[in-house]
Amino acid sequence: MSSISIIGLGNMAGALAGRALAGGNAVEIIGRDPAKAKELAGALGGVTVGTAGAAPAGDIVVLAVPYAGAVAVVSEYGDALQGKVIIDLTNPVSPDFQGFVTPDGSSGAQEIAKAAPAGAHVVKAFNTLFSHVLAAGPAEGRPWDVFIAGDDAQAKTRVSAFIESLGLRPMDTGQLSMARALENVGLLQLGLVAHSVKHTDFALGITILS
């Protein structure tokens, strides 16, 4: 099993921490509000609380923060992330939900990778799952698909193993440049919520026909 540090104290952090614990992983929660971090850890049980800005204990570090602060968080940790696998689950969507706040031709994951130390490896994952869907787990025996993208094969293998421990199915989409396509899927989901599905109780995945 994996050793996971989750930076963030929101719904996605809680959902991932809960499923990671259930999958037998060691989990550390890190947030700027120590009281809130302890409260979340107490609600989950079996989670340790790290110190914001200190080196994360986990081999895999999950950025469960809004994209607006993600690059700054990675820059703040700096060399403390050396050798870590960094999971980026952000969706850098513009406030009007019509596009992205990242530079043309780039993605949130690629911008985060620029801020990370050279020895860290960024993998895009989990940005196409709503937090409550992730927390609830697979439905009708079918695991949710978790699309991933990254440049380092070993890092993707480690993230895939972590995803499988959650009872989910990793689907490798290629290099980190594919993160923009995955972020477009996140934008697509918001469009579905606004115009057709009208709620967030759904997950996108693939059906293999043969």
Per cent of the chain over pLDDT 90 is 94
Whole-angstrom distance, CA of residue 130 vs CA of residue 116:
26
| Chain segment 13-58, per-residue pLDDT in tens | 999 999 999 999 999 999 999 999 999 999 999 999 999 989 999 9
pLDDT at 190: 96
pLDDT digits (tens, 9 = 90+) for 115-136: 999 999 999 999 999 999 999 9
Q: Any bridge partners for residue 30, and if so which?
A: 7
Integer CA distances (angstroms), 137 to 105, 142, 193, 202, 210, in order: 34, 9, 20, 12, 25
Residues linked to residue 48 through DSSP beta bridges, in sequence order: 28
Average pLDDT, the chain: 95
Q: Is the dihedral of CA 74, 76, 79, 81 positive or negative?
A: negative
Count Cβ atoms below 10 Å from residue 113 Cβ, excluding itself: 23
Amino acid at 190: L
pLDDT of residue 141: 77
Per-residue pLDDT tens for 80-121?
999 999 999 999 999 999 999 999 999 999 999 999 999 999
In which band, very low, low, confident or very high, does the pLDDT at 69 lie, cut at 50, 70 and 90?
very high
pLDDT at residue 140 greater than cutoff 80: no
Q: Residue 149 has what pLDDT?
A: 98
pLDDT digits (tens, 9 = 90+) for 190-209: 999 999 999 999 999 999 99
pLDDT band (50, 70, 90) for residue 142: confident
**Per the confidence metrics, is the pTM higher than 0.85?**
yes
| pLDDT at residue 105, as a whole number | 93
User: According to the model, what pLDDT value does residue 66 have?
Assistant: 96
Q: Is the pLDDT of residue 1 over 90?
A: no
Secondary-structure percent of the chain, ordered helix, strand, coil, rounded to 5: 40, 20, 40
CA nearest neighbour of 118 among 161, 143, 86: 86
Q: What is the pLDDT of residues 146-179, one digit of tens each?
A: 999 999 999 999 999 999 999 999 999 999 999 9
